[in-house]
Structure 1
Amino acid sequence: MSGDPSNARVDSWIWAVRLFKTRSQAAAACRAGHVRVNGTVAKPATTVGPGDEVVVRGGDRLRIVEVTRPISKRVGPPVVAQCLIDKSPPPPPKAEAIAVRERGAGRPTKRDRREIDRLRGA
C-alpha cells in the first residue's frame, strides 16, 4: 500500500485488528453495508485514521471501535489492543437451557422429544 501511513483502508484495518477472519469477509461486510465509519456506510476502500469511529455489525453482535493507530497488516492480539479502543456493548447473555437426562433412562418419550425440540428452538 503506497498511501499515507496515517491512514488505512477500512476493509484492511478491520481484518488487521481481528474483527474478521479474512480480508475478503471484511470487504464483503463493507459492500453489504454492515460497516460504518463516523456514521456513514463505508465502502471497502474508505480510509480510516486516528480518531475515526468504526461500527461493525456482524451476526448478533455490534462492535463499536475507535481507531487509535491505522494498520494494514494483521498483527497479534497485544498489538491490536494498541490500535483500537473498544466501545462495544457487552455481548448478549447466552440462554442456559440444558436438557439433562439420566444415563440409562432409555429412549425419550414423545413428551421428552417435544421438550428437547422446544429447548433447541426447533
Structure 2
Amino acid sequence: MAVSMRLDKFLKVSRLIKRRTVAKEVAEKGRISVNGTVAKPGTNVKEGDELIIKFGQKTVTARIDRLEENARKEVATEMYTILKEERKEEE
C-alpha cells in the first residue's frame, strides 16, 4: 500500500485521466489543485487529499480514498469519491 504517490500517476491509475501524459499536461497548465494549492505533475498526493480538476468546460472535485500502485478497472473507481461536478456554461 502506497503512502503517497505522484499526482500524474494517481490520475492515471485511478482512471480519472486515462493517460499519464495527458494528466501531466493538464497539471502543467495549472488546471489541477490539491487541497486548494495548484499542483504540478510530481506533487505527492495522499489519502484524504482533495483534488479539483478543470477539464475544459467541466470542473471535478474528488477526494482520494485509496492509493494503489496498480489498479484494475473495477478497483480504480474505489480510489476516489467524486464530491462535486460542475459544468461551465458557454458564454
Q: Shorter-chain TM-score: what band?
A: 0.7 to 0.9
Higher normalized strand content (fraction of residues): 2
Task: Choose 1 or 2 for highest CA Rg.
Answer: 1
Q: Which runs of 5+ in 1 are unaligned?
A: 93-122
Counterpart-to-counterpart distance in 1, 2:26 and 2:72: 20
Determine which of 65, 68, 80 is the counterpart of 2:76.
80
1:48 equivalenced with 2:45 (yes/no) = yes
Equivalent runs, 1:1-122 vs 2, <5 Å: 5-76=2-73, 78-89=74-85
Counterpart-to-counterpart distance in 2, 1:42 and 1:26: 11
8 Å contact from structure 1 (residues 15, 74) kept in 2:
no
Counterpart-to-counterpart distance in 2, 1:15 and 1:55: 15
Q: What is the TM-score normalised by the length of structure 1?
A: 0.65
- Equivalent residue letter for 1:18: R
Q: What is the TM-score normalised by the length of structure 2?
A: 0.85
**Percentage identity across aligned positions?**
27
8 Å contact from structure 2 (residues 11, 18) kept in 1:
no
Counterpart-to-counterpart distance in 1, 2:21 and 2:28: 10
Q: Which runs of 5+ in 2 are unaligned?
A: none
Of the two structures, which has the highest relative contact order with CA contacts closer than 8 Å and spacing of 6 or more? Answer: 2
8 Å contact from structure 1 (residues 27, 44) kept in 2:
yes
Aligned length, in residue pairs: 89
Counterpart-to-counterpart distance in 2, 1:84 and 1:71: 11
